[in-house]
Structure 1
Amino acid sequence: CDPLPREALADVADLGFDRETPLWFYILREAEVLAEGKQLGPMGGRMVAEVLIGLLEGDRQSFVRADPQWKPTLGAREGEFGMVDLLDFAGA
């Protein structure tokens, strides 16, 4: 993924964030610039996903460790199970 242009950090240049941006600020600014703050951008999303995957892979009782070939069966499309499918299954 391409980094944010310096212009996206121009308003915080007096803090030096245009040159040395704290990670937490970069992730929030990326979300603001690319998705109006409604979702994480590519870097923030990747970091969260990698942490969650790492937790699942490290948990001996996780479905990922128990059966790495497992595929979801409850989704609207075979092999896919998204948030909407989970909410439908839960009756929400």
Structure 2
Amino acid sequence: MTWSLPSGQAIAKQLGAPVLSSADLSELRSYSLGLERSTPLWYYVLKEAEVEEDGLRMGPVGGRIVAEVLIGLLQNDPTSYVAVAPDWRPTLPSAAGTGEFRMVDLLTVAGVDPASRGQ
């Protein structure tokens, strides 16, 4: 039995994410293996971050993979808040005064939001 991993392009299509063009992956043409059309997932995720996010963040495919792994870990950990207290919600007040706690509120409390860092 032979196993093969799906290409980055196949995963992007399955997720409904924008698919990198062959031009985005033109450096792979020199290998004459069609890698610019069917790119190994690990390379695709790195290139996607470079093309879509200037290498500063993960792109849609890489970000989704990481997020789903973390969510899966939380869901399968019998001691996580997801399992122990699934209805738990943060209680700190939101900076926007909306009554909803957002990611920026967590960053503000931690002192790492853009305003705290002078950005």
Deviation at 1:50, TM superposition (A): 0.1
Q: CA deviation at 1:75?
A: 5.2
Identity %: 42
Instruction: Find the partner of 1:78 among 94, 99, 103.
Output: 99
Q: Which amino acid aligns with 1:42?
A: P
8 A contact 1:56–1:62 mirrored in 2: yes
The residue identity in structure 1 corresponding to 2:28 is V
In the alignment, what sits opposite 1:37? 55
Aligned residues: 91
Partner SS for 1:21: coil
TM-score (norm 2): 0.66
Instruction: Map 1:9-88 to 2 at 5 A.
Output: 9-15=25-31, 16-74=34-92, 76=94, 78-82=99-103, 85-86=106-107, 88=109
Instruction: Tell me, yes or no, if structure 1 residue 8 matches structure 2 residue 29.
Output: no
Select the structure with the greater relative contact order (CA < 8 A; seq sep ≥ 6): 2
Which runs of 5 or more structure 1 residues have no equivalent in the other structure?
Answer: none
Deviation at 1:81, TM superposition (A): 4.0
- Tell me the amino acid that sits aligned with residue 103 of structure 2: G
Counterpart CA distance in 2 for 1:81 and 1:26 is 31
Displacement of 1:2 in angstroms is 1.7
SS at the partner of 1:19?
A: coil
Q: Which runs of 4+ in 1 moved over 6 A?
A: none
The answer to whether the 8 Å contact 1:71/1:79 transfers is no
Aligned partners of 2:41, 2:88: CA distance in 1, in Å?
A: 34
The CA RMSD over aligned residues, in Å, is 2.2
